[in-house]
Amino acid sequence: MNIDKKIADDLVANDVSFVTTVPCKQLAGVIEEIDQRDDIFHIPSNKEDEGMGLCAGAFMGGKRPAIIMQNTAIGVTINTLATLTQFYRMPLPMIISYRGELREPVACQVEMAVHTKALLAQLNIPTYHFHWQKDVEEFDNILKYTFMCNKPVAILTDANFWGGYGDQ
Amino acid sequence: MIRSEILKEIAPIIRDHLVVCNIGLPSQELHMIDDQPTNFYMLGTMGLSSSIGFGLALAQDKPVISIDGDGSVLTNLGTLPTIANNATGNYTLLIIDNGSYGSTGDQPTYAGRKTSLAAVATACGCDNVVEVQDRDLGPVLQSAIDSDEMTIIVCKCDSGNIKLPVITMDPVVIRHRFMEAVKA
Domain chopping of chain A, boundaries: 3-99+115-158
For the segment(s) A3-99+115-158, the CATH number from 3.40.50.300, 3.40.50.10490, 3.40.50.970, 3.40.50.2300 is 3.40.50.970
Contact yes or no for A61 and B56 at CB 8 A: yes
| Minimum-distance CB partner of B55 among A49, A54, A83 | A54
From residue B16, give the alpha-carbon distance in Å to each of A78, A119, A156, B62, B125. 34, 41, 42, 10, 29
Helices A3-13 and A28-36 sit at what angle, rounded to 10 degrees?
A: 50
Q: Which of A43, A55, A87 sits opposite B86 (nearest CB)?
A: A43
Measured CA to CA, the distance from residue A54 to residue A42 in angstroms comes to 11
CB-CB neighbors (< 8 A) of B40 in chain A: 60
* Tens digits of residue pLDDT in A121-146: 999 999 999 999 999 999 999 999 99
Q: What is the DSSP string of B61-72?
A: SS-EEEEEEHHH
Of A57, A87, A89, the CB nearest to B56: A57
CATH of the domain at B18: 3.40.50.970
Q: Which residues of B touch A (CB under 8 A)?
A: 20, 40, 42-45, 47-48, 50-60, 76, 78-79, 81-82, 86, 171-172, 174-175, 178-179, 182-183
Q: Considering only CB atoms, which chain B residues are within 8 Å of A63?
A: 59
Q: How far is B109 from chain A (nearest CA, A)?
A: 21
Average pLDDT over residues A31-56: 98
With an 8 Å Cβ cutoff, is A168 touching chain B? no
Closest chain B residue to A56, measured at CA: B52
User: Does the predicted interface ipTM exceed a cut of 0.90?
Assistant: yes
pTM over 0.90: yes
Total domains present in chain B: 1
Positive or negative: CA dihedral A135, A167, A1, A109 = positive
pLDDT tens, residue by residue, A75-119: 999 999 999 999 999 999 999 999 999 999 999 999 999 999 999
Answer yes or no: is pLDDT of A28 > 70: yes
Say if residue A164's pLDDT is above 80.
no
Residues of chain B with pLDDT under 50: none
- Find the domain containing B30 and state its range: 3-183
